[in-house]
Structure 1
């Protein structure tokens, strides 16, 4: 079928109604080559699958559907190639910070430049959750909490490690600030998330002594002290570079329960977190009251009451979704990893214990060891991977580029990134962490002689076709594409 001539059943409700069909939901990385997925085989007890996402059939919600369509599943980059890619990115990209080469001291001007880049009042009105507008007095109090006057002429960098998932914020506060009272999901002070094991260069302290201003590999912002343990740089780097390492390949896993030390008990570890592996020969056959033979033993960073860094042997059950080293970077595994987030609630800046569009693609690629800038604009405008760029009127070039996409390619429109899955009957499909859903129901409204513009909600990791979607009535997603990246 022509990708632009799709129809919506139940037009008056703006819904697509499709019968439920059997599909293979295996996440085995070789499942697509061993088993076929019959996308049209009905089950005995058929249940209608109802969605307002155009051109979507239920089998498309399984990774195996897309894996079995792959023409090739060759390794794209080996471990050495990924190290080279990261080295080039860290050296060239101003949005990435090479903490191995981070200076031991920064000038007052350098620190204030970093702070000013994140802690600044908005140019348009902002509101608290109760609907009250953020006033000049409120901003003055926030500015006072930043405590710029205490930044010394020469700042000695402290070093730390993240010990629990936490938020990096525009200001040293947990108070939510919104662009509009109706849009409660987007806290405009929320910048990104940090995760256990990430190194931090710590530059400044808030006025109340409860927050650090710190730099990780791709961001600089405020985070609560409770999430950070302070240590010596050499000690941290030795731990960070130790191998072998265990990488989290599930959306989230937890360490085993520890009744004696809550610092290591059921700690949440998100996809891409990497920790050094220990052996029973080093730490014995009783870890936190449990025999480690059926678990992985990792060296977990923890925080003492005084805020100092320690490393504790901690167990992660072998049934958890983890792997030694990183995953092999091949298309079938990119699909496997992306689908582990399917249906997760959208979380702006890693809010809601989730992630946003760039957090989603960033975590997927971290499971292969690939690093990238944090925000979509930083990614799309950077040179961290081979990139095709398009001017506003490059409509032919866009269409040609869409016909040449490879699985896992990243498609950038203003403020958003999508990951290419494959095509069905000429229509490209994407997986993305997205809030809204807008498109024209042309055929459904043909009798009215006017196309109906549908506005819905996704607010999660979703599968959609690409060409029907619109940013606005006037502009489609395809027309808004300004860059496509192939990470090879």
Structure 2
């Protein structure tokens, strides 16, 4: 789930830059980010600047075709429905050992104290690799509440320096209620499963997973009718009668079945349902088995009867629903990181994406303009200026979503720890953002030699899968 954490000491040789990179906008008083005023923080400001803003980019059939191509051709994805009925030791151990290497450099805990070698050794041993059977039946489950995915079976948060408590190096991602899983292995302490989801393979606490048959798991995922969460997140209605489905968080793009035939005169967990949608959620029985329970999702909650149309207006509106949310590496802090942010925006419109920036930016399912060392600064700048709303701009470890341009220069919304740039007077300025933020692209500096534009690896454009040519971005 790499998202860039930029160094504080970022310098750029101004004499080596063309004029477009030297003309860094000054930061307005009170906001402290170059060129950004209150109007740039409103979705409607950017929507109003677009032509054909409500034109459908891909229709539902085209999106389904693209999703199928992603599952078929992208090696970072896992087609759980087509896994064999049994898993051999080589496959399972490969999943586990390819996820994370044993730590080779010092790590620190949340108090800034070094993590003892014997503690790390115990965590590695908890993977229980020697107990992986030569063969096992493929088991399935559903996630019952938002849960962290970890690189190792441990709740210990670890960091690379004694003054960093944000980037937990054992944190990988998160999964959401209703996500299908394959359960591949159990930790030595019997508190963790190693699981494979459609987009990731990692460790999850067992208490967040309910085990069921393939028919139960995929039957739930395919059930209709359904609601799509279109807000940044919503919560089910509180109920003390059913704690497992009370106040449950559902993040953007989560799909939940609707019990449309629920009798209107029958209360749901002690409450009349006429002001809410009666939805069905997976729950975990005491023995870990899968069950289902009704819950209420208020009708005024931000959800829809189907995926939103994929339009430029919806891309902008959905992205701005996260504006100001705290940056969360690997979906930590009950939030998300840069790649999770863009994936969840697109998921609300039915578009699947790989989990990590390194996979998103090269996926064979998407149209893209790749950049190499042979591409000079002028060409890269021209391509950046040609981006459209919804294009995804990838630099090493980071992704940004294009939202439009001002005076011909591109602007982006992205989930970032911070940015570095030159003020009007030429001094280096660092803004620690740690949130979903709106910024111009041109002034942003990557390191002491390069700007973001200098380090672009690709620009991805979501487009019909029948269009085989790369976007010209001219």
Same fold (TM over 0.5): yes
Q: 2:187 maps to what in 1?
A: 206
Q: CA deviation at 1:424?
A: 0.6
Are residue 410 (structure 1) and residue 392 (structure 2) matched? yes
Q: Secondary structure at the match of 2:257?
A: strand
Q: Is the 8 A contact 2:142 2:217 kept in 1?
A: yes
Query: Which whole-Å CA distance do the structure 2 matches of 1:231 and 1:112 have between them?
Result: 23
Q: 2:34 maps to what in 1?
A: 54
Are residue 238 (structure 1) and residue 211 (structure 2) matched? no
CA deviations on 1:176-195 (whole Å, 9 max, x unpaired) are 01011112100000000110
Aligned residues: 443
Query: Which whole-Å CA distance do the structure 2 matches of 1:138 and 1:200 have between them?
Result: 29
CA deviations on 1:288-324 (whole Å, 9 max, x unpaired) are 1112122111111111121111111111000000001
Q: 2:458 maps to what in 1?
A: 483
Q: Which shows bigger deviation, 329-338 or 390-399?
A: 390-399
Instruction: Give unpaired runs (5+ residues) of structure 2.
Output: 1-18, 464-474
Query: Which whole-Å CA distance do the structure 2 matches of 1:99 and 1:72 have between them?
Result: 38
Query: Which whole-Å CA distance do the structure 2 matches of 1:115 and 1:51 have between them?
Result: 45
CA deviations on 1:19-66 (whole Å, 9 max, x unpaired) are xxxxxxxxxxxxxxxxxxxxxxxxxxxxxxx12210112101000000
Q: CA deviation at 1:270?
A: 0.5
**Matching of residues 408-447 of structure 1 within 5 Å:** 408-441=390-423, 443-444=424-425
Q: 1:333 maps to what in 2?
A: 314
Q: 2:105 maps to what in 1?
A: 124
Q: 1:466 maps to what in 2?
A: 441
Q: CA deviation at 1:208?
A: 0.7
Query: Which whole-Å CA distance do the structure 2 matches of 1:165 and 1:281 have between them?
Result: 26
Q: CA deviation at 1:253?
A: 0.2
Q: 1:72 maps to what in 2?
A: 52
Query: Which whole-Å CA distance do the structure 2 matches of 1:338 and 1:464 have between them?
Result: 13
Q: CA deviation at 1:474?
A: 1.4
Are residue 313 (structure 1) and residue 294 (structure 2) matched? yes
Q: CA deviation at 1:403?
A: 2.4
From the superposition, tell whether residues 283 and 214 of structure 1 become closer, same or farther in structure 2 (CA, over 3 Å): farther
Q: Secondary structure at the match of 2:291?
A: strand
Q: 1:26 maps to what in 2?
A: none
Compare relative contact order (CA 8 Å, sep 6+) and give the higher one, 1 or 2. Answer: 2
Q: CA deviation at 1:473?
A: 2.3
Instruction: Give unpaired runs (5+ residues) of structure 1.
Output: 10-14, 18-49, 445-450
Q: Is the 8 A contact 1:453 1:473 kept in 2?
A: no
- Find the partner of 1:398 among 374, 377, 380: 380
TM-score (norm 1): 0.88
Query: Which whole-Å CA distance do the structure 1 matches of 2:327 and 2:265 have between them?
Result: 42
Query: Which whole-Å CA distance do the structure 2 matches of 1:473 and 1:51 have between them?
Result: 25
From the superposition, tell whether residues 7 and 88 of structure 1 become closer, same or farther in structure 2 (CA, over 3 Å): closer
TM-score (norm 2): 0.91
Q: Is the 8 A contact 1:280 1:292 kept in 2?
A: no
**Matching of residues 306-385 of structure 1 within 5 Å:** 306-385=287-366
Q: CA deviation at 1:4?
A: 4.0
Q: CA deviation at 1:7?
A: 5.7
Q: CA deviation at 1:125?
A: 2.4
Query: Which whole-Å CA distance do the structure 2 matches of 1:312 and 1:425 have between them?
Result: 53
Query: Which whole-Å CA distance do the structure 2 matches of 1:202 and 1:132 have between them?
Result: 34
Query: Which whole-Å CA distance do the structure 1 matches of 2:279 and 2:298 have between them?
Result: 11
Give the superposed CA RMSD: 1.5
Q: Secondary structure at the match of 1:234?
A: helix
- Find the partner of 2:28 among 16, 30, 34: 16
Q: Secondary structure at the match of 1:178?
A: coil
Q: CA deviation at 1:472?
A: 1.4
